[in-house]
Structure 1
Amino acid sequence: AIAMSANVLPADPDVGELADRILGALLNEAELEPLPASDDSDALGAILDSEPVDLGGWLHLGEAWRVVYRSEAVNGNPIEVTGVIIAPAGSTDDSRPVLSITHGTTGLADDCAPSLGFPDDYTLGFIAPLLEQGWVVVATDYEGLGGPGLHPYIVGESEARGAFDIVRAAQKVPGLGADGPLVVWGHSQGGHAAMHVAERWTDLAPDLDLVGVAAGAPPSQFPLLSAFLQDGDFQGYLTMAGAGLAAAYDELDLEPLIAPEYEHLLDELENGCTGHIFEVFNPIPYEDLLTVDDIFALPEWNARLIENDTNQRPNEVPTIILHGDEDEQIPVVSSEAL
């Protein structure tokens, strides 16, 4: 998801912090307003709809909105994507730095969109230091999570477009000042997205001042990763990846590759989030699930899988990769090869 933090509040907060929280609550008692819709609804990042988010006990940090914004699918079609914009309170004429968070795997269905669970103390505890230092924080749900269509899971261009275009959306908010230096951070699927941000910046968003990327445990070396995940506790990721690629590219069709007795289970991809998908697909022996021995031997599938790996393009900005050496889902050796 989009959040990682430790404790929400110190065990013994000082008086100054409590005063800040009380003052913030008083300042935010006025009814929050939606953001103005963009005049040009076809422009990338155009705000199509929004609703203010009540930050509860974190009101002193600033203001937040769930947004629907304009982006573009890999086939060039205009799409609607959802996400969250959080900013320090008050209007500014200055440029503020921006953090764009790319979330980890949550599922493929609309109900799995991280913005639906925002705000939560875990996320706000993580981003609080940034907001207190004047940063704007944005977090995309990605294409298909919260918006029309199936989420094109592990399609790097789609992920990168979502991360860039929500920054453009924040820039369209008067007085937000979201045109400062941009940093992108993500873990797991979000690490994959962050790597594609670093690799596709000049293609997709040269107008944004991207200065750095941090990628945690980015999926890479797809043939190695596929073999690692087969018949394990995280095998469901492979079905998600196949469905996501098929959702993005017209020449790919997952159904003929799934054994007939299991084909009906593809409907379950939209009936629950990652845990549900694991429950459905993990118990099935991998060799029984597919009608082919090696999906990488199929030219059209191999081409798209390799295209969406994180090892095909050079990074265009300073990039740091973080990976735990005891990761049970993405083997650290895959990042060592990047």
Structure 2
Amino acid sequence: MNINMIRILNVATLFVFSSLTASAIAVSPDSGDRLLSEDYSASDFPTQAAGKILKKTRVEGKYAITNADEVYKVFYTATDGVNSKVRINSGIIFLPAGNPPKNGWPVVSWQHGTTGIADRCAPSWTGPDQPSKVVISSWIAAGYAVVAADYQGLGMPGIHPYLEPKSLAYSVLDLLKASLAAELGLQNTIVLHGWSEGGAATIATALYAQKYAPALHITGASSSGAPYITPKTLRFLASDKTGSAEVVSYVTYLLNSASQLGADLPEDDVFSAKGKQFVRTYGNYCVDDLVREATINKSELNEIVNRKAFGNQLLLEKIAYPPFKTEIPLFLSIGGSDTDVPTNMQLALQQKMCADGANLSYKVYSAADHTATLLASVEDTIVFLSGTQEKNEDSTFTALSCKN
């Protein structure tokens, strides 16, 4: 499908998305790491090397994408980004209708935004959220198969190490390896696209790909609304200039998962008395419910988090990107009115990537918030990433670069 048709599809879906509201009923704050169903029992699978699909089940209903012909929930082996052992992760694969091209469907790996850190927040359990459906449908319309990892610890046993780069990258790369070997009619021609936490996952995947999965032919990557955690950006988050319910939620996930991963973060050094109660009550909620509770409780970041946590060097080391040096072309879409991942944080990421010599293009969508930036940038992303595969030689892509 051409770009004009994709534009029409996105406008129509954006109208639908903008009319949706979150459920008024919060989910129960039970244990975040728990068995969702027998399908998600790791004990049922034999131990194998990373990058192998262990189970593939065709699914419908909440997983359906209008123009996807087949959708599969998959369980696969992956390298644990924290301890380097082989573990089992979950994900979803979406295939276009019709026969694949001679060499197979080109592949886009979609990295979803923050859903939470509890097992039940995994997209393979809940189905894709509405912004993800827009993106997935757009890529299928452009003739791509879509591979979407849950990330380590979502769905399957173990804590989800929120924003930890290796666990995000290995989850993505191992699902790509497994999918190519699964006789699904896919070709080893891959682009990466992610949003929010998935924007961070996309960048991490591009940075680790050559060393961890050199056989994968990744031609380009696009990241929307990616967080960038440094002492400076943490000080900004801790200031009175920000503190949206979304920021409160993301920082709660970050500190909650980091403290459980041995980041030497005693509870009293992380959360205030109000914060400890907030985390005990709501910390395992999925993101829409956590944001709602933060709003209802009028929870501000300075009231929840102890400032000592923002200076913890081990925490910063655990979630730091490696140097931004990769030959893979990258595109950043930045929301000029984003309060979920504040614009200043995203611009700091862009500046650091340029300083490190990344092959970077970027664009600021001046009036767009976090979700609107993703949706507004889908067309640009498809043009940019298709261009890295010489699929749209006549298309023009306008953006800034590190040379501008």
Calculate the TM-score normalised by the size of structure 1. Answer: 0.77
1:179-214 CA-partner distances (Å, limit 9, x unpaired): 321111011111111111121112221111111100
After superposition, the Cα gap between the structure-2 partners of 1:327 and 1:297, relative to the gap in structure 1 and judged at 3 Å, is closer
Count residues in correspondence.
303
- Indicate whether 1:184 and 2:196 are aligned: no
Which position in structure 2 is the counterpart of 1:303?
317
Match status 1:235 vs 2:242: no
Aligned counterpart, 1:53: 59
Is 2:120 the counterpart of 1:135?
A: no
What's the CA shift string for 1:89-111, capped at 9, x where partnerless? 46656232110011111111112
Aligned mate of 1:201, from 185, 202, 209: 209
Contact 1:82 1:115 in 2 (8 A): yes
**Taking structure 1 as reference, are residues 66 and 244 closer, same or farther at Cα in structure 2, changes over 3 Å only?**
same
Shift of 1:321: 0.6
Deviation per residue, 1:20-78 (Å, 9 max, x gap): xxxxxxxxxxxxxx9xxxx9851222112232112698676321101111112121122
**CA 1:236 to 1:301, structure 2 compared with 1: closer, same or farther past 3 Å?**
same
SS at match of 2:94: strand
Cα gap change, 1:301 to 1:121, in 2 (>3 Å): closer
Q: Distance in 2 between matches of 1:297 and 1:8?
A: 42
User: Is the CA contact (8 Å cut-off) linking 2:192 and 2:221 kept in structure 1?
Assistant: yes
Distance between the aligned counterparts of 1:41 and 1:264, measured in 2?
39
Structure 2 equivalent of residue 62 of structure 1: 69
Provide the rounded CA distance (Å) in 1 between the counterparts of 2:264 and 2:152. 18
Mapping for residues 245-264 of structure 1, pairs under 5 Å: 245-247=258-260, 249-257=261-269, 258-259=271-272, 262-264=275-277
The alpha-carbon distance between structure 1 residues 269 and 169, as it changes in their structure 2 partners (threshold 3 A), is: farther
Report SS of the residue matched to 1:154.
coil
From 84, 94, 115, give the equivalent of 1:76.
84
Which structure 1 residue ranges, 5 or more long, are not aligned? 11-33
Match of 1:148 among 157, 160, 174: 157
SS at match of 2:186: coil
The CA distance in 2 between the partners of 1:61 and 1:273, in whole Å, is 26
CA distance in 1 between partners of 2:142 and 2:71 (Å): 16
Partner of 1:26: none
Amino acid at match of 2:180: Q
CA gap 1:288/1:125 in 2 versus in 1, 3 angstroms: closer
Q: TM-score, normalised by structure 2?
A: 0.65
- SS of the residue corresponding to residue 97 of structure 1 reads strand
What is the aligned partner in structure 1 of residue 337 from structure 2? 326
Instruction: Tell whether the 8 Å contact from 2:218 to 2:328 is kept in structure 1 after alignment.
Output: yes
Offset of residue 270 of structure 1: 5.3
Identity %: 27
Cα pair 2:65 2:136 within 8 Å, conserved: no
- Offset of residue 141 of structure 1: 1.0
- Superposition RMSD in Å: 3.3
For 1:225, what is the secondary structure of its paired residue? helix
Distance of aligned partners of 1:302 and 1:137 in 2 relative to their CA distance in 1, 3 Å threshold: closer
Q: Which of residues 174, 180, 195 is equivalent to 1:171?
A: 180
